[in-house]
Amino acid sequence: MRTLTLAILFLTLAITANGQTKNDMREFDPNFAHTVFFWFKNPDNKADRATFEKSLQKFLDNSQYAKTSFIGMPPKASRDVVDGSFTYSLIVTFESAEAQKNYQDEAPHKVFIEESSALWEKVIVYDSKGVQQ
């Protein structure tokens, strides 16, 4: 009986350890990348950072259009060609430019801007379409 219980426990752990969430199963979509850089008014303020990260993650978790996302900060060690002046970066991929346009108008995106825009002094966006080969 103990062996059976251990076997069931092991099997359950193996299945759940390899289980993927909805967000994990999304693959990078090379059709359209939306890259955003944020410069905060108070980049060293931990409360501002926590507020931003929470709001951004809530937005991304509820977006109907964002396929993959990456939230980043500049690395401490940089080369001369690397611009590390930003506070946060965001890379989101979409299946099309139309999906990215819809993302701009969806409620979770608007709530994120409402909750977080007072924190930043500058935002730059770079949108890119994939090179078709």
Domain ranges across the chain: 22-129
pLDDT surpassing 80 at residue 49: yes
Mean pLDDT, range 56-68, rounded to an integer: 90
How confident is the model over 19-40, as pLDDT tens digits? Answer: 334 444 356 677 899 999 999 9
22-129: CATH, from 3.30.70.141, 3.30.70.100, 3.40.50.1100, 3.40.50.10490:
3.30.70.100
Burial class of residue 93 (count of CB atoms within 10 Å of its CB; 0-12, 13-18, 19+): buried
**Residues 6+ away with beta carbon under 8 Å from 64:** 102, 103, 106
Helices (H), 1-133: 2-18, 46-62, 97-105, 107-116
Label residue 66 by pLDDT band (50, 70, 90): confident
pLDDT surpassing 70 at residue 3: no
SS3 127: strand
